[in-house]
Amino acid sequence: MRPLGPISFSEDELLPLSALQHLVFCPRQCALIHLEGVWDSNQYTAEGDILHARVHELGCETRGDTRIARNVALRSLRLGLAGVADCVAFTHSGKQIIAAFPVEYKRGRPKLHRADEVQLCAQALCIEEMLHITVPNGALFYGQTRRRLPVEFDAALRSLTHAAAAQLHQLFDSRCTPPAVYDKKCRLCSLINRCLPRVTSGAASARSYLAAARSS
């Protein structure tokens, strides 16, 4: 059994587990969504919603000593997070759960950043705290490749997840939206027209944008 740290948060202080994915992808996106209530859909978010709805509609099933549960409610008072896992395969010995394997579904393909892995690892940490078992690994299922990507919850990923959870609470406590920083990934973000990273990421960016607008 993995030793756990002290309880740090109350039920009223729990933050959305899914916000970790937004935070690691872009702190400004996270703040716009979770602090300012800004949200726009695009093709990618719509496809993601459809994929998750299909997974959750499948319900639970049992295969031998393994029960596959979907839309599983999770929480961690140590990380200060609460959320839902798309799918968790629980292995039973009699009435006791002895192992768990979380699977998170994503519409696209594996990414260069670790936002999806952090979200999945946070789910595993919640399960460990709730069931007092060790969850060594899980998987990310990507809709475009139709394949599972194995994820090991090693020390580095666990440390990154703990740090992201702490940063998330700091962001919520500050109630301050970080400034925009334009990056190639901005083009895929559904909030690009709300965030306006090319305009707001600095004076030079603003001047370039206005100059381009005047010449068009």
If you average pLDDT over every residue of the chain, what do you get?
A: 84
What is the 3 state secondary structure string of the chain? CCCCCCCCCCHHHCEECCHHHHHHHCHHHHHHHHCCCCCCCCHHHHHHHHHHHHHHHCCCEEECCEEEEEEEEEEECCCCEEEEEEEEEEEEECCEEEEEEEEEEECCCCCCCCHHHHHHHHHHHHHHHHHCCCCCEEEEEECCCCEEEEEECCHHHHHHHHHHHHHHHHHHHHCCCCCCCCCHHHHHCCCHHHHCHHHHCCHHHHHHHHHHHHHC
Q: Please give the average per-residue pLDDT across 133-138, as a whole number.
A: 97
Q: Which residue has the higher pLDDT, 211 or 15?
A: 15
Q: How confident is the model at residue 42 (pLDDT cuts 50, 70, 90)?
A: low
Q: Which residue has the higher pLDDT, 70 or 138?
A: 138
CA torsion sign for 181, 184, 187, 190 is negative
Is residue 48's pLDDT more than 70? no
At 191-215, the pLDDT tens digits run: 878 888 887 665 444 444 445 445 5
Q: Please give the average per-residue pLDDT across 94-122, as a whole number.
A: 92
CATH 3.90.320.10 domain position(s) in the chain: 11-178
Q: How confident is the model at residue 180 (pLDDT cuts 50, 70, 90)?
A: confident
Predicted pLDDT of residue 56: 59
pTM, full prediction = 0.81
CATH class of 11-178: alpha beta
Q: Please give the average per-residue pLDDT across 138-160, as a whole number.
A: 94
Q: How confident is the model at residue 84 (pLDDT cuts 50, 70, 90)?
A: very high
Q: Please give the average per-residue pLDDT across 153-173, as a whole number.
A: 96
Is residue 164's pLDDT more than 80? yes
Radius of gyration, alpha carbons of the chain:
19
Cα-based distances in Å from 194 to 32, 33, 40, 203 = 9, 11, 8, 18
Q: Which residue has the higher pLDDT, 183 or 123?
A: 123
Q: Which residue has the higher pLDDT, 67 or 44?
A: 67
